[in-house]
Chain A
Amino acid sequence: MATPPEEDSLESRINKATNPLNKETDWESIKAFCEQLNNELEGPQLATRLLAHKIQSPQEWEAMQALMVLETCMKNCGKRFHSEVGKFRFLNELIKVVSPKYLGTRAPELVKKKVLEVMYSWTVCLPEETKISDAYQMLKKQGIVKQ
């Protein structure tokens, strides 16, 4: 049995925050995850990897909670996190969720819709992260984003 992540690691916090068994949104764990990722040297890099994995979950509630964590962190965690999310290394993982060539045919509709919504919101409120609009334009060109 894989050793469980230590109690207050980013991994254990994201597991709690996105647990499909949660009856409702676990804002405590979301807040703790955001604070922790800011206090660790490699926090933003690890956080985006963990979030990408959860967002790609076939379980709708787990993926939707992960998107809520992502949105909360984008509002509260500042520049270091913004620049990690603004890299193709992370954006490509979101693109896979909506692209029929990758996970798009299996991903829940609600999750795909939410991914496109948050990406669009970032093109508006984070214009300096130019790769985000590059990725969004490409999705529009491929007809994945309806005009």
Chain B
Amino acid sequence: PTSFHDDSDEDLLNV
């Protein structure tokens, strides 16, 4: 199955 391409993401965690 080709899933819709979801490019949503978060920012890199700063540690």
Contact = CB atoms under 8 A, between A and B. Distances in A.
A142 interface: yes
Given A87-B9, A92-B10, A41 B15 contact: no
Contacts of B6: 45
B10 A89 contact: yes
Interface residues of B, number: 10
A40 B14 CA distance: 32
Interface stretch (A14-22, A66-74, A94-102, A108-116): A94-102
Contacts of B10: 87-89, 92
Contacts of B9: 87-89, 131
A41 B3 contact: yes
Interface residues of A, number: 26
A-side interface mostly:
helix
A88 B3 contact: no
A146 B6 CA distance: 34
B15 A134 contact: no
Contacts of A100: 15
Interface in B1-15: 1, 3, 6, 9-15
B15 A144 contact: yes
A138 B1 contact: no
B12 A88 contact: yes
A138 B11 contact: no
A44 B1 CA distance: 12
Contacts of A41: 1, 3
